């Protein structure tokens, strides 16, 4: 039993499991042709019945059908491609239109805000008490971040390591929200009076956070390099920053992960305003 079993195993074709593929390879042509030819040979016809005629009519008809199918498919493919690209163009156009609308509205907003502050100024300047209120208001707006400010200060530039993807830990070789937070807090600690990151003024309501590997400040996405500008005493601010926790953090990040940074004292920098809208917080005296 075992011997015969072995023999059957041995005589079994090696590619028996691929008989389907073998079949496809061995019979690429319709077997009907061979059968028809054999039948003709049996009945004694040496040349197929009217071969010239049969060849031209049937084969031409087949080719005609193939050509029709081909051109129909080509037309179809082109038609659907046209529809897709037209839809795309329409969507792009709508996006552009919405973007320009947003831009226009933002310009209107800026215009209105500047006219409001002008009106405030002109009203307050008319009386002595108003003058004092105006100075106080300007001071408060400067520290709250709702008015643009200018003055001497320091600028800190942060950038990713040279080739973050080749680093041992690529996630740490990029500037993280933590790095920017440390720098901004270090600048506050060193005596900065107003700070902006890539043109985004940092106010009491600002958050520096990360979403999908993008750093957001005031909910606006920023891209490296990050320019952190701070207004303060340009003689003491750089040194205080370097000696303080911010500078220490930057040095260790640079040594450990290759984060690039530079600190420079500036004669004059201008920081833009940000809008701080308090919806729920009222003055405690008024609310009670």
Partner 1 sequence: MIPVFGLLLGVIAGLFLDVSVPLSLQPYLPIAIVAALDAVFGGIRAVMEGIFDSKVFVVSFVANVLIAALIVYVGDQLGVGAQLSTAVIVVLGIRIFTNVATIRRHLFRA
Q: Nearer Cβ to partner 1, position 45 or 101? A: 45
Distances (CA, A) of 116 to 111, 262, 270: 9, 39, 21
Q: Nearer Cβ to partner 1, position 11 or 52? A: 52
Beta strands in 121-225 (DSSP E): 149-159, 194-197, 200-202, 208-211, 214-217, 220-222
Q: Nearer Cβ to partner 1, position 58 or 205? A: 58
Q: Nearer Cβ to partner 1, position 62 or 90? A: 62
Q: Yes or no: say if 229 and 155 are a contact pair by the CB < 8 Å rule.
A: yes
Write down the least CB distance from residue 19 to partner 1, Å: 14
Structure tokens, 277: 């809208």
Write down the least CB distance from residue 35 to partner 1, Å: 8
Write down the least CB distance from residue 86 to partner 1, Å: 18
Write down the least CB distance from residue 73 to partner 1, Å: 5
Q: Nearer Cβ to partner 1, position 68 or 214? A: 68
Write down the least CB distance from residue 16 to partner 1, Å: 19
Angstrom distance (rounded) from CA 282 to CA 288: 10
Q: Nearer Cβ to partner 1, position 32 or 285? A: 32
Write down the least CB distance from residue 85 to partner 1, Å: 18
- Residues near partner 1 (CB under 8 A): 21, 24-25, 28-30, 32-37, 48, 51, 54-76
Find all residues with CB under 8 Å of 3, minimum gap 6, and list them. none
Angstrom distance (rounded) from CA 96 to CA 213: 26
| Residue of 232, 221, 229, 218 whose CA lies nearest to 276 | 218
Q: Yes or no: say if 238 and 265 are a contact pair by the CB < 8 Å rule.
A: yes
Q: Nearer Cβ to partner 1, position 32 or 44? A: 32
Write down the least CB distance from residue 41 to partner 1, Å: 10
User: In DSSP terms, which residues pair with 211 in a beta bridge?
Assistant: 214
Beta strands in the chain (DSSP E): 149-159, 194-197, 200-202, 208-211, 214-217, 220-222, 226-231, 260-271
3-class secondary structure per residue, 109-138 = HHHHHHHHHHHHHHHHCCCHHHHHHHHHHH
Q: Nearer Cβ to partner 1, position 68 or 112? A: 68
Write down the least CB distance from residue 78 to partner 1, Å: 11
Q: What three-state secondary structure class fits 176?
A: coil
């Amino acid at each position: 039993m075992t011997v015969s079993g072995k023999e059957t195993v041995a005589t079994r074709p090696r590619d028996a499991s691929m008989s389907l593929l073998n079949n496809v390879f061995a019979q690429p042509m319709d077997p009907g042709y061979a059968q028809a030819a054999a039948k003709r040979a049996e009945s004694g016809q040496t040349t197929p019945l009217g071969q010239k005629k049969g060849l031209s009519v049937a084969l031409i008809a087949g080719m005609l059908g193939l050509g029709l199918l081909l051109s129909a498919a080509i037309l179809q493919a082109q038609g659907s491609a046209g529809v897709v690209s037209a839809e795309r163009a329409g969507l792009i156009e709508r996006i552009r239109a919405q973007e320009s609308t947003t831009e226009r509205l933002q310009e209107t907003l800026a215009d209105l805000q500047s006219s409001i502050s002008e009106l405030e100024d002109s009203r307050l300047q008319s009386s002595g008490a108003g003058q004092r209120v105006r100075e106080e208001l300007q001071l408060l707006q400067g520290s709250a971040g709702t008015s643009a400010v200018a003055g001497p200060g320091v600028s800190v530039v942060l950038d990713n390591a040279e080739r973050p993807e080749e680093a041992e830990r690529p996630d740490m070789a990029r500037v993280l929200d933590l790095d920017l937070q440390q720098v901004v807090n270090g600048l506050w600690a060193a005596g900065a009076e107003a700070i902006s990151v890539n043109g985004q003024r940092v106010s009491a309501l600002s958050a520096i956070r990360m979403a999908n590997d993008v750093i957001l400040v005031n909910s606006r996405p920023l891209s490296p390099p990050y320019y952190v500008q701070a207004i303060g005493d340009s003689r003491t601010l750089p040194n205080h920053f370097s000696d303080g926790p911010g500078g220490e953090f930057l040095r260790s990040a640079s040594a450990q992960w290759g984060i690039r940074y530079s600190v420079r004292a500036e004669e004059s920098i201008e920081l833009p305003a940000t809008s701080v809208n308090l919806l729920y917080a009222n003055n405690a005296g008024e609310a009670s």
